[in-house]
């Protein structure tokens, strides 16, 4: 059986993940199976904490958190001299990245940053926090926070 590919128009849903888990179980794909189980578990935990199903922003937040966990695990495993754990985590990270919505271009990021700056009436670097507070929800996981802060810093210093 061929591996499941995700065609992401907007966002992968929980039902898509559950179906993909079933496909991974049938195919015997250990990486997908393990990663999907951990992701679904994290989603269920977040839903229990919120006492309601996750919306798209909540889903992206859980996905971003899982990506960050894998990146930290890779770094820790490399420092500890454990290439086996680092390799497993890289495979999980690669799979999780497929679930992310397509990232936005630098020009789109700057346009959204300018929009946020106008909305908050930002004048200089001291207003960066206000701009980021408006900008990050607009990005909805389509850009890294570091990229966003670099773009805002550059625009505010001009």
Counted domains in the chain: 2
Domain match, 19 and 75 both: yes
Amino acid 84: pLDDT: 95
Confidence of residue 141 (pLDDT cuts 50, 70, 90): low
Total number of residues shown for the chain: 158
Number of helices (H), then strands (E), belonging to the chain: the values are 7, 0
Residue 148 lies in domain: 106-156
Residue with tokens 């389509």: 142
Statement: residue 1 has pLDDT above 50: no
Question: Which candidate, 137, 123, 101, places its Cα nearest to that of 13?
Answer: 101
**Other CB atoms within 10 Å distance of the CB of residue 71:** 13
**Angle value at C-alpha 150, between 145 and 155, nearest 5 degrees:** 125
Tell me which of 80, 99, 118 is where a domain ends. 99
Confidence of residue 58 (pLDDT cuts 50, 70, 90): confident
Residue with tokens 């207003």: 127
Query: Is residue 9, in this structure, part of any structural domain at all?
Result: no
This prediction's pTM: 0.68
Query: Is residue 63, in this structure, part of any structural domain at all?
Result: yes
Domain match, 46 and 95 both: yes
Domain match, 43 and 68 both: yes
Q: Residue 144 — φ and ψ, nearest 5°? A: -70, 145
Query: Is residue 3, in this structure, part of any structural domain at all?
Result: no
CATH of the domain at 20: 1.10.1510.10
Domain match, 80 and 141 both: no
Q: What is the average pLDDT score of the chain?
A: 85
**Structure confidence by residue, pLDDT tens digits, 91-136:** 999 999 888 777 788 888 888 888 988 998 888 888 888 888 888 8
């Amino acid at each position: 059986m061929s591996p499941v590919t995700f065609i992401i128009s907007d966002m992968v849903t929980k039902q898509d993940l559950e179906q993909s888990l079933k496909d991974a179980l049938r195919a015997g794909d250990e990486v997908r199976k393990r990663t999907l189980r951990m992701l679904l578990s994290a989603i269920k935990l977040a839903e229990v904490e919120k006492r309601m199903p996750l919306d798209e922003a909540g889903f992206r937040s859980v996905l971003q958190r899982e990506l960050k966990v894998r990146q930290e695990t890779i770094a820790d495993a490399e420092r500890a001299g454990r290439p086996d754990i680092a390799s497993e985590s890289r495979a999980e990270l690669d799979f999780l990245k497929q679930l992310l919505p397509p990232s936005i271009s630098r020009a789109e990021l700057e346009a959204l940053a300018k929009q946020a700056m106008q909305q908050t009436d930002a004048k200089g670097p001291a207003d960066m926090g206000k701009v980021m507070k408006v900008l990050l929800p607009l990005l909805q996981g389509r850009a890294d926070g570091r990229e966003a802060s670099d773009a805002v810093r550059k625009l505010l210093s001009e």
